[in-house]
């Protein structure tokens, strides 16, 4: 969550305003809230999680919104066997740091 909020601040300084939703539970997922915010923001969703993508929030969001052709879901997650190290190094390595989130938002907006 902290990396997402840092990315939000960085994006805002560049005139890009995003909504951050913390779905504190996967079940039940509040798909209606996520859908309504996505549609207000151009139909784009970026999920970020600090573990494998399988069985996570991103997968739940993508599944819940899969029938809505007006919404694109991009997922960031740890896609390889995690290693030990300083958190900031690992967040960057696995593509879930605030810098990586900012880049993913720019790519999603193109």
The answer for 109, left when phi > 0, alpha when psi is -120 to 50, beta otherwise, is alpha
- Listed by start position, the domains of the chain span 2-109
Residue 26: pLDDT over 70: no
How does pLDDT run across 56-100, given as a tens digit for each residue? 999 999 999 999 999 999 999 999 998 999 999 999 999 999 999
CATH class name, domain 2-109: alpha beta
pTM above 0.75, yes or no: yes
Residues in contact with 79: Cβ distance below 8 Å, sequence separation at least 6, in sequence order: 52, 53, 94, 95
CA 64 to chain centre: 15
Across the chain, mean pLDDT equals: 94
Element (H, E) at 28: none
Say if residue 12 is exposed, middle or buried (CB neighbours under 10 Å; 0-12, 13-18, 19+).
exposed
């Amino acid at each position: 969550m902290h990396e997402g909020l840092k990315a939000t601040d960085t994006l805002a300084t560049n005139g890009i305003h995003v909504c951050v939703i913390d779905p504190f539970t996967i079940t039940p997922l509040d798909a209606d809230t996520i859908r309504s915010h996505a549609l207000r923001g151009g139909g784009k969703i970026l999920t970020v999680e600090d573990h494998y993508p399988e069985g996570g929030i991103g997968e739940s969001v993508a599944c819940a919104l899969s029938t809505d052709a007006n919404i694109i879901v991009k997922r960031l997650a740890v896609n390889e066997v995690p290693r030990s190290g300083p958190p900031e190094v690992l967040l960057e390595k696995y593509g879930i740091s605030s810098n990586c989130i900012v880049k993913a938002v720019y790519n999603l907006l193109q």
